[in-house]
Structure 1
Amino acid sequence: MGEEAVMDATEVIRHQNGSSNHQSLEFDIYPLNGYYFGSTNAIPFKDETLADRIQRKKSNYAAHGIRNCVEAVMLVELFKHPHLLLLQERNSIFKLPGGRLRPGESDIDGLKRKLASKLYVGENGDGAEWEVGECLGMWWRPDFETLLYPYLPPNVKSPKECTKLYLVKLPGSRKFIVPKNHKLLAVPLCQIPENHKTYGTIISGVPQLLSKFSFNMIGLE
């Protein structure tokens, strides 16, 4: 087959989606060396058994209803490949930056607040520096003891938890300040799929959620 008959993958996407639609799916990511990583005071971990954690969730549900969480998907470039930023606790537990919303708090405001408190504190500490993009997906916990699902089972009328993943666009440079007992790691996106034993069900599904985007790696020749 001649070269003239081979269509570039980008052209395939453009023909399938239309040039204007393809443009909206481009996503800029910047080199890791443009970011500064520092540390601040450690945040105490909640040392509790599984039974204690479930009981705490039951108490919170009785007081506030469903537990709503928001988490950030942030990408950087390293070795010409996209990397996902993950927080690591106790040298073994990986998490996307984010956390639980306050009662009545919007997704965007809550995620900005969590990012400002866990990763970076600006002059006002209000999270205004963070650019939160589209919601990539939603995960549901039907009961206190079950795993999270990427859909809400039709027989579940009162789910106990909902976690939403949002794409957060990073500028070319930023200071990340994390607690001393946490690590902020850049993990190759290609190592995450189907690796739920290491990263958990939500994180291992992130690459598939990002498959519709064309990454534009800024600063690479």
Structure 2
Amino acid sequence: MSTIATTVLQSSKPPITPLDFNANQPQTIRLYPLSNYTFGVKETQPEEDPSVLARLKRLEEHYTAHGMRRTCEGILVCHEHNHPHILMLQIANAFFKLPGDYLRPEDDEVEGFKSRLDERLAPVGRLGEGEEAGDWDVGDCLAQWWRPNFETFMYPFIPAHVTRPKECKKLYFIQLPKSKVLSVPKNMKLLAVPLFELYDNTARYGPQLSAIPHLLSRYNFEFVNENGEVVALTPGSGPSAGPRPQVKVLAGDDVDMKNENGTQ
């Protein structure tokens, strides 16, 4: 029987402590675990248009009557295994979109947007049971996409030759509370998609959704467990206002577990 010797290689150079990288820190967002949220289904919400051509025709009619169409969609973020996940809808097992929709011509932007979020995600029958209509924390506008003509293409800028865009779509960050009940129409699926799945994946999700990781890079994150404790945070983000992360022993001697977990 042969013996294998293990050699530990160490650098001859001492470790270098870098300078602080905490100046002008971005806003810190607290993310709650996916398990904090309850999901259900409600009545089917059929698509208003049977085809892409019909949708563009309706856009043209809207523009003729009311001018540029205003659309708002929400970026709802939670976490699973300390990695941000985006809640989005899937229609017909193929088409992905964020919750939200176009605003009615008479709608105030934010209040109209909250109503559209309710239509997509508010549970039926729970309004009046401690939950209020429009109970959404609408945060920063993270992006604007412009539709220059009556066609499917949208751009994150207004092309130089366009003076009258036909639609403006705003993507808003929605701060999810510690817990919430969400219901999705029966003909749709509500998915939690990790950022690494969206990143640089225009082939599957298109340019708008695949750009979300870029949009969220402006924030630092605190990842909170089911007990409300901060268990992870963006490296270099400085001191956390919540509890500091601790080592949690998953198996071993009871005494060691008590010591490591900070209990007596």
Same fold (TM over 0.5): yes
Alpha-carbon distance, 1:52 to partner: 2.3
Matched, 1:114 2:121: no
Instruction: Supply the distance in 1 between the matched residues of 2:49 and 2:160 (Cα, whole angstroms).
Output: 35
- Structure 1 residue identity aligned to 2:216: L
Alpha-carbon distance, 1:131 to partner: 0.6
Listed as ranges, the gaps of 5+ residues in structure 1 are: none
Question: Aligned residue for 2:181?
Answer: 175
Task: Point out the structure with the larger helix share.
Answer: 1
Indicate the percent of aligned positions where both proteins have the same amino acid: 40
Instruction: Supply the distance in 2 between the matched residues of 1:194 and 1:4 (Cα, whole angstroms).
Output: 34
Alpha-carbon distance, 1:188 to partner: 0.5
* Native 8 Å contact 1:116 1:125 kept in 2: no
Secondary structure of the 2:74 match is: strand
Pairs aligned (count): 210
| Structure 1 residues 27 and 3: alpha-carbon distance in aligned structure 2, compared to 1, 3 A threshold | farther
Structure 1 residues 85-96: aligned runs within 5 Å: 85-96=87-98
Deviation string, structure 1 residues 146-175 (Cα, Å, up to 9, x no partner): 411011122211100100011110011100
Question: Aligned residue for 2:62?
Answer: 60
Listed as ranges, the gaps of 5+ residues in structure 2 are: 1-12, 226-230, 232-244, 246-264
| Structure 1 residues 217 and 204: alpha-carbon distance in aligned structure 2, compared to 1, 3 A threshold | same
Matched, 1:203 2:215: no
- Structure 2 residue identity aligned to 1:141: R
Aligned residue among 12, 18, 30 for 1:6: 18
Question: Aligned residue for 2:224?
Answer: 218
Instruction: Supply the distance in 2 between the matched residues of 1:47 and 1:167 (Cα, whole angstroms).
Output: 27
Deviation string, structure 1 residues 66-90 (Cα, Å, up to 9, x no partner): 1110010111110221101111110
The root-mean-square deviation of aligned C-alpha atoms, in Å, is 1.7
Question: Aligned residue for 2:147?
Answer: 141
Instruction: Supply the distance in 2 between the matched residues of 1:151 and 1:202 (Cα, whole angstroms).
Output: 12
Alpha-carbon distance, 1:106 to partner: 2.5
Instruction: Supply the distance in 1 between the matched residues of 2:15 and 2:109 (Cα, whole angstroms).
Output: 48
| Structure 1 residues 39 and 146: alpha-carbon distance in aligned structure 2, compared to 1, 3 A threshold | closer
Secondary structure of the 1:148 match is: coil
TM-score (norm 2): 0.75
Structure 1 residues 19-34: aligned runs within 5 Å: 22=25, 25-34=27-36
Instruction: Supply the distance in 1 between the matched residues of 2:175 and 2:53 (Cα, whole angstroms).
Output: 38
* Native 8 Å contact 2:34 2:78 kept in 1: yes
Secondary structure of the 1:167 match is: strand
Question: Aligned residue for 1:130?
Answer: 136
* Native 8 Å contact 1:87 1:183 kept in 2: yes
